[in-house]
Structure 1
Amino acid sequence: MAVRPSLSPKLPHSLLIAALAAAAALPLAALGQKAPPAMLVAPMMGLDPCWVPVTGAAAQQADTAAMIRSCNPSEGSAGPLVEQTLAGLLPANGRSRSFELGYTLNVPLLTLFTKQGEQWKLNPVFIEHIARTVRDTKRPVIVYLFSTHFSQSAPIEKALAADPANLGWTPKGPLGEGVYYSAPIYNWTFADTDNGITRRRVEAAQAVLDALCRLEPAARERIRGVTLLGELHHLFPDFEAGMGFDRPYLVTDYSATSKQNFRAFLRQRFGTIEKLNQAVGAGWKSFDAVEPPSKNIRSEPLKGYTEHIDSFAHGFIPITGWAFDPKATTARPGHVRILLNGQRVARIAIDQSRQDVLAALPQLGSANVGWRYDLDFRKLPYGLHRIEVLLEDGANKPILLASRQVAIMDRQQSTPKPQPQAQGPATRPLDAGTRAHVDVPADLSSYFYNPLVPLWHEFRGQQVVDYLLKFNGALKSCLDATVPRFTHQIIPFTNPGWDHTKFAIEASLKKLPGVGMGVSLYGEPTYGTSFSDWLRRNRPGPYGITEFHPLKTLAPAELGKVFRTHARQGAQFLSFFMEPRWNGHRTSRHINLFSLDPENKAYGSDKLYEGVRAVLADPKAAAGLPLLPAPAPAPAAVRRPVAPAVTAPLVPAPAR
C-alpha cells in the first residue's frame, strides 16, 4: 500500500501553511494581452512555531526570540517565518526563470473557534493573524481553507462530534471517532448541509475571506488561488487499513436524509417505480419502499436480492497484484496478460505504485511493480470461470503467475457449473527467480451482481460533488472575480490495492462549475503516465497539485522535467510539505514524513529538496536537461565544532 501524509496539525490553533505555460503562435504581449504567470511552486509549511515555539538547543541555534517577536498574535504574523523558510529554496531577491515560488497557507477552519461561556465564537485574533501573514509575505499564495475528517486538534471538534447529525452513517449507525496512526479521525457527514459542521465550516471560511478582502489591493493580488476543505470522500471504519477488499463492506452514508435523497435520485432517473423495478429486478410498490443496498448475501439474511452489497456487487472483479520485471523501464514497462476461460481479455502494463512491496523487498529498487485490471462480469454466464495471469518474458514463453477459479452466482445461489475452456497459450511455471504475486481474486471466490449497486455508488459520488458545490457557493468575497477556487482531492484509483468504490470520489474529479480540480499526487502519478493518461481521457481543465511527493529520489533534471510536464498539462500550482525554518534551522518539533527537507531522508526527501532548489535556480534543471557537476568547494576555514541541533525523530506517517 502506498503512503500518505496526515494533514492534521498537532497543536491547537495551528496555522499551517499558475497558469499554463502553453506555446502560442504569437507572444501574448504582441497581441496586447498580459502573459499568464508561470506555474506556481507553493510549498506548505507548518506554522506551529508561531504559537508554541520550540525550546532547547534548536531554539538557541535558530535564535527563535526574534521569530517569537515577529509572530506577536496581536500585531505580528507568520510572514517572516514563511519568508525565512522559502529563502532556503530561493531568496526573496532571487528570480526563477521557469517557475514562481510562493507558498500555501493552511488555515485549519475549526481551530478558529474558541468557547466563550456556552457558545463557540470565532477568535478574531487568529483570523487577523492569517490576513497579516498574507500582507507581510511578499510572495504569491494559495489559501487552503482546511476542514476534513482529519482532526485539527480543535476543541470544538468534540462538541460537534457529539451530535449524530454531524456524522456519516454506515448501515450500523453513526460512524464515531476513529484513529489514523494515533491521530483522531472525525467522520463528518456531507450527505446533508443542514448541520453544525457545515455551518461552522462556512462561518469560519467566510470570516477568513472577509479578512483577506480588508487587505490592501497589492496584498490581495498575491492570492493566486483558494483550495476548499481538503480531501472529501465517503468514509468507512478502520480508515487506517480498510481501503482494500478484505474488510466487511461498510461505507457511508445511510442516514435518514441520505436514504430519502437516494429515493429522490431514483425517482428523477426512472420516473416511475415500474421502470426502476424492471431495471433492477425488484418488486417495490413505491419509491418510498426502496432501501439502499446494505447487506452481504454471504453472511446476512436479505429481504430481497437488491439489499446485497460488497466490493464487487457493482459488477467488476479487480484482478490485481505485482510483478518485478528486471528488464522493464519507466518508458517500456513490463506487461501481464489476463486470460478468461483460456482467451485473452487484456494486456496490462506493470507500472502502478506498490510502496508496500518496495518496503518488503527494497532490493527491487522500484515501487512501480503494481498492476490491475477490472473484469466486467455483469454479462458473463453464471458458473465457474477460470482467470489466468501471465507475465510476459520477451520471446520466451510467458510465466503463469496464477490460475484462479471464480464463481459468477445467480440470485438463487445455484451450484455454479464449470464453463467451457479454450486452449490458451503455452506457458512455463513460476520459478524461484521470479518475484511476483496475484493478490485478488482468491481462488473459488464468489461474485454477485446487484444492478442497484451502481446506482447507489453513482448517487454517493454525486453527494461528494453536491457538497463541494454547495460549500463553494456559500462563500462570497471580493476575490471571486479574479481568484480561482480548487478542490483538494485524492485519486484512489491509481492505487491498485484500494477499493475505490468505498471513496466514491471520481465524479468530483470531473470539470465542475465554478471550482477547478485540485489533486494530491504521490508516487508514480507524479512522474509516470497514469495521471497524464487520465487527464487526457477526462479533460478536467486547469488543475492544481495540492500535495506532491514522488516517493523516490529524482535528479534535478528529472524533477525539472516533471514540473514542466505538469505545467504543460495545465497545472496552475504545485504544493508539497516543508518544515518551517528560521535562520536556516528547523523550528518544528517533528518532521512530517513527506516534508521536502534537508534533514528528512525518507523517500529521498532531502535530495528532492535540493532538486527543487536546483530547478528554481538553474534553467537547465528546469528544462529537464542534465546538469554539469558543481565545482569543487574551496577548503573551508577551520572552525570550533558546534554542538548539533536536537533533531526530533521522524513521525510515523499513515499509509495512503
Structure 2
Amino acid sequence: MRSALSHIGRISGNIGASAVVALAILAGNAHAQIAADGLMPRAPLLITPMVSGILLCNEGNQRTELTTLEQIEEWCEKNHQTRDLAAKAALDELEPNGPAGKVQLGYTLLVPLLELYEKQGNDWRISPARAKKYLNVISVIDRPVVVYLMGDHYDSSSALSQELARDPQNLLAYASGPVPVTRYIGHGIIPFTLRTDENIPVNRYRFQALRYMTQQLRALDAPTRSRIAAVTLAGEIHHMYPDFENGVGEFDHIKVTDYRPESQQEFRAWLKDKYGTVERLNRKLGFRYAAMADIEAPSLDIRTQPLKTFAQHYDAYAAGTLPMSGWLWDPEKKIDQITLHVDGKFHAAVAVGLGRMDVYRAKPEVTTPNTGFRGLIDFSAMAPGKHVAQMVASSKGKRFLLGEREFVVVPPDQSSTSAIPQPQRLKGLPEAGELASVQLWLDRPKPLQDVYYNPMAREWNRFRAHQVNQLLDHFYRIARAEGLPADLLYSHQIIPETNGAWNPVLFASDQSISNTTPWRTGINQYGASPYVFEYLNERLVRAYGVPEFNPLQGRNPEAARAALVRHYQAGARFVSPFFISVVPARLRAADDKRLFDIATDNPVDGNDAFHDTLQWFVRK
C-alpha cells in the first residue's frame, strides 16, 4: 500500500477533448478548462478519499477524556451516535450539496478482514457486531462508496493477525527461512502467504471473512446497496523482500519469496503443466534434469555462492533483463526523446516520466518527482563478452549522449571472454549535460556489470507472478460466487514499474495488471507519474480505478489538478485520494510525519494544496 496505514489501522489516452484542452492542462491551466466545461462526456468520475477514523462520531471526537480511538468508537456506539459520523461531516464540507455533476464526491471504506474476528474460548469467530459497524457507515453516508476488503500484509493490527504471524506456515519465506514481521511508516507488516490453499490458517480466516462480508453487502437494502460503486479486493498483492520500507530499490543483493517447500512443489507442478515432461523442459531450457522432482527454485548468486548446477543461479538480472535507468531534469523541455542503443544499434524504447521522489526531495530546484527514465536490455540471446549500452537523447533533430555503460555477458561456465572483440558503439555524440539547464544522472547498471542468463530464473519469476495472480483470482472468484457483480470488482495493486528507482523483480506483480484479468484494474498511484497512462495503454486497460492516489507535489499545486483531469479523460471510474483524517489531533502519534494526510494545515508534500484541489474539483 506504500501508505500511512498507521493512521487508519483498525478504524479505518488522450489528455483532453481537444488540442486546446490538452495544451491548457499541460500548461497547468486545468482550472479554467473545467470551469469552461472542457471535460469530455462520460459517466461521472467518483472522487472517493480513504477516510481515517471512519467509525468515529462528532461528539465522541470532542470528548477529551476519551484517549484512544477504541474509546471514542465505544462511546459513539453506547450513546447512539453512530449516525452522526465525523466522516460524513468532513465529506459534506468538501462537497456541501451532495454528490452531483460530472465529478462526484464519495469515500473509501476500509474493511480489514482479519479484524472482523473475536476470540471465543479457544476459537476465533466472525463478530457480526464488528461487521455491522462498517455496514452502518454505508447506510449513514449517502454517497458513492468504494468498499476496500483488505486481506494482504497490511491487515496486521488485530489480535488474530498477531497470532497468525507466529505460525511460519502462514508466511512467505526466503530461501534462508521465513520472512520476518516488519514495519512500514509505523504500521505493522505481516508477510502472509500468496498461496491459495484454504487449509492454511490465515487463508481460512481471510477467505471466510471475505465470504461473510460479500454476503452482508449483498443483503443490504437496494437503496443502500446502490451506493456501492466498487469493491477493491485484497490490497497490494506482491512478493516480499528485505527492508520493506527502504529496500524497494535493491538490485545488487536481492532476496525474494516464496521458497516454502509447498511453494516450490507448486513451482514444479506449474513447470509440468507448462512443459509436460522433463525431457521437453530440458530441450527448451538447456538443462539435464532426470525428473521434475529434482528441480529447485533458483536462489544462489554465482558470484558468491557455490552452485551444483547453473540452474541454481539467481539475481536481479538472471531472467535475462538488465535495466538502464537514471533521472533527467529538463525544465525547458529541450529533449524530445530518449532511446536505448546496444552495440551501436537501436535496442529499445525508453520509459520516461517515472517517479523519483528521492531526487525531488533532495533537489529544491526540481519541481516534479517525475524525472525518472528506464530502458530494458534483453541480453538473453546476446553473445558472451563485453557489450556497450548507450542512452541517446534527441533535441531538435540532433542526438546527444545521455550516458553509457559497458556490461559483460558471462557464459554459464564463467569461462573468459577477454579474447572476444570489443563491441561497436555510437561515436562523436556530444554530452546531453552540455545542454543548458539540463541535469541528469545514470544510476545503473554499474560499470562493467556482469550478467548471467539462467532460463530457470526466468521461469521462477514468471511463476512468482503467477502466484500473485492466483491469489487475486481466488479473492475475485469468492466475491463472484457470493453474488457480487463482476463490474464492481477491482484489484488494488501497486505498479512498481512507474517508480524509476524501484526493482520490479522484487514484487513480481506486473502481470496482474492487464485487460485479460477477470477483475477490473485498480492501480495505486503516488507521485502522479504520467507514465501510468502509457502503462495502461500498452496493456489496453480502459475502465479502471485508482484505489489510492496522492500526487506528492508540493512545489507544483497545479500538478494534482492536471492529474485528476487526465484520469477523467483516460476513463477512470474512481480516484481515491489517500487519505483524509477525522481522527482528533490529540490522538496523533508523537512521530506522525503526516506524509499522506490531506489537510489544510499540512504542508508536507503539498497535502494542503491537494486538499484545496479536491475541494475545487468536486465542486465543478
CA distance in 2, matches of 1:489, 1:156: 24
Tell me which amino acid in the other structure corresponds to 2:536. L
**CA-CA distance at 1:323 after TM superposition:** 2.1
The 8 Å contact of residues 556 and 614 in structure 1, kept in 2 or not, is answered as no
The 8 Å contact of residues 79 and 132 in structure 1, kept in 2 or not, is answered as no
**CA-CA distance at 1:175 after TM superposition:** 1.2
Superposed, 1:462-611 pairs within 5 Å as 462-475=466-479, 480-481=484-485, 484-511=488-515, 514-525=518-529, 528=530, 530-553=531-554, 559=560, 561-581=562-582, 589=588, 592-611=594-613
Structure 1 partner of 2:239: 234
CA distance in 2, matches of 1:54, 1:591: 25
CA distance in 2, matches of 1:421, 1:36: 53
Structure 1 partner of 2:412: 411
Structure 1 partner of 2:4: 6
Superposed, 1:262-281 pairs within 5 Å as 262-281=267-286
1:197 aligns with 2:195: no
Q: Secondary structure at the match of 1:306?
A: helix
CA distance in 2, matches of 1:427, 1:407: 23
> RMSD over aligned Cα, in angstroms?
3.3
**CA-CA distance at 1:377 after TM superposition:** 0.7
The 8 Å contact of residues 580 and 586 in structure 1, kept in 2 or not, is answered as no
CA distance in 1, matches of 2:137, 2:391: 56
The 8 Å contact of residues 548 and 575 in structure 1, kept in 2 or not, is answered as yes
**CA-CA distance at 1:615 after TM superposition:** 1.6
1:236-262: CA deviations, max 9, x gaps?
Answer: 122122222445221111112211111
**CA-CA distance at 1:116 after TM superposition:** 2.5
Structure 1 partner of 2:56: 50
Bigger drift between 372-381 and 348-357 goes to: 348-357
Tell me which amino acid in the other structure corresponds to 2:50. M
The 8 Å contact of residues 8 and 152 in structure 1, kept in 2 or not, is answered as no
Structure 1 partner of 2:388: 386
**CA-CA distance at 1:281 after TM superposition:** 1.3
Q: Secondary structure at the match of 2:532?
A: helix
The 8 Å contact of residues 50 and 577 in structure 2, kept in 1 or not, is answered as yes
Distance 1:305 1:151, change over 3 A: same
Q: Secondary structure at the match of 2:11?
A: coil
**CA-CA distance at 1:98 after TM superposition:** 1.4
1:561-587: CA deviations, max 9, x gaps?
Answer: 5334323433111101233349xx868
The 8 Å contact of residues 550 and 577 in structure 2, kept in 1 or not, is answered as yes
Tell me which amino acid in the other structure corresponds to 2:465. G
**CA-CA distance at 1:481 after TM superposition:** 3.7
Q: Secondary structure at the match of 2:493?
A: coil
The 8 Å contact of residues 555 and 611 in structure 1, kept in 2 or not, is answered as no
CA distance in 2, matches of 1:147, 1:346: 38
Q: Secondary structure at the match of 1:351?
A: strand
The 8 Å contact of residues 70 and 77 in structure 1, kept in 2 or not, is answered as no
Tell me which amino acid in the other structure corresponds to 1:212. L
1:589-630: CA deviations, max 9, x gaps?
Answer: 257412322122122121121112112223xxxxxxxxxxxx
Structure 2 partner of 1:612: 614
Distance 1:310 1:478, change over 3 A: closer
**CA-CA distance at 1:48 after TM superposition:** 6.3
CA distance in 1, matches of 2:258, 2:516: 22
Distance 1:316 1:434, change over 3 A: same
Structure 1 partner of 2:150: 146
Tell me which amino acid in the other structure corresponds to 1:324. W
The 8 Å contact of residues 9 and 152 in structure 1, kept in 2 or not, is answered as no
**CA-CA distance at 1:374 after TM superposition:** 0.5
Q: Secondary structure at the match of 1:547?
A: strand
CA distance in 2, matches of 1:482, 1:415: 56
Distance 1:161 1:134, change over 3 A: same
Q: Secondary structure at the match of 2:138?
A: helix
Which of 169, 172, 177 does residue 173 from structure 1 map onto?
177
Structure 1 partner of 2:33: none
Q: Give the number of the structure whose residues are more often helix, by fraction.
A: 2
CA distance in 1, matches of 2:429, 2:551: 36
Structure 1 partner of 2:25: none
Tell me which amino acid in the other structure corresponds to 1:609. H
Bigger drift between 274-283 and 172-181 goes to: 172-181
Distance 1:89 1:48, change over 3 A: closer
Which of 460, 480, 484 does residue 464 from structure 2 map onto?
460
CA distance in 2, matches of 1:423, 1:256: 46
Structure 2 partner of 1:129: 133
The 8 Å contact of residues 238 and 468 in structure 2, kept in 1 or not, is answered as yes
Structure 1 partner of 2:455: 451
Q: Secondary structure at the match of 1:387?
A: strand
CA distance in 2, matches of 1:324, 1:409: 34
**CA-CA distance at 1:158 after TM superposition:** 1.9
**CA-CA distance at 1:134 after TM superposition:** 0.9
Structure 1 partner of 2:93: 88
Tell me which amino acid in the other structure corresponds to 1:386. V
The 8 Å contact of residues 43 and 576 in structure 1, kept in 2 or not, is answered as yes
Distance 1:59 1:140, change over 3 A: farther
Q: Secondary structure at the match of 2:288?
A: coil
Distance 1:516 1:74, change over 3 A: farther
**CA-CA distance at 1:548 after TM superposition:** 0.9
**CA-CA distance at 1:482 after TM superposition:** 7.6
Bigger drift between 315-324 and 106-115 goes to: 106-115
Distance 1:199 1:269, change over 3 A: same
**CA-CA distance at 1:519 after TM superposition:** 0.9
Structure 1 partner of 2:297: 292
Q: Secondary structure at the match of 1:240?
A: coil
Q: Secondary structure at the match of 1:413?
A: coil
1:15 aligns with 2:11: yes
**CA-CA distance at 1:73 after TM superposition:** 5.7
Q: Secondary structure at the match of 1:50?
A: coil
- TM-score, normalising length from structure 1? 0.81
Matched residue count: 584
Distance 1:244 1:52, change over 3 A: farther
Structure 1 partner of 2:32: none
Name structure 1 gaps, 5 residues minimum.
24-34, 619-656
Structure 1 partner of 2:327: 322
Bigger drift between 478-487 and 236-245 goes to: 478-487
Distance 1:117 1:446, change over 3 A: same
**CA-CA distance at 1:199 after TM superposition:** 1.2
**CA-CA distance at 1:424 after TM superposition:** 2.2
**CA-CA distance at 1:342 after TM superposition:** 3.6
1:77-121: CA deviations, max 9, x gaps?
Answer: 366222101022101x34542112111101112222222332222
Q: Secondary structure at the match of 2:224?
A: helix
**CA-CA distance at 1:226 after TM superposition:** 1.0
Tell me which amino acid in the other structure corresponds to 1:40. L
CA distance in 1, matches of 2:17, 2:294: 54
Q: Secondary structure at the match of 2:247?
A: coil
CA distance in 2, matches of 1:321, 1:207: 47
The 8 Å contact of residues 224 and 483 in structure 1, kept in 2 or not, is answered as no
CA distance in 1, matches of 2:611, 2:335: 28
1:105-158: CA deviations, max 9, x gaps?
Answer: 011122222223322222222111111111111111111111221253211122
The 8 Å contact of residues 302 and 308 in structure 1, kept in 2 or not, is answered as yes
The 8 Å contact of residues 156 and 190 in structure 2, kept in 1 or not, is answered as no
**CA-CA distance at 1:375 after TM superposition:** 0.6
CA distance in 2, matches of 1:180, 1:304: 37
Q: Secondary structure at the match of 1:389?
A: strand
CA distance in 2, matches of 1:368, 1:470: 35
Tell me which amino acid in the other structure corresponds to 1:196. P
Q: Secondary structure at the match of 2:492?
A: coil
Tell me which amino acid in the other structure corresponds to 2:342. L
CA distance in 1, matches of 2:304, 2:501: 24
Structure 1 partner of 2:225: 220
- TM-score, normalising length from structure 2? 0.86
Q: Secondary structure at the match of 2:308?
A: coil
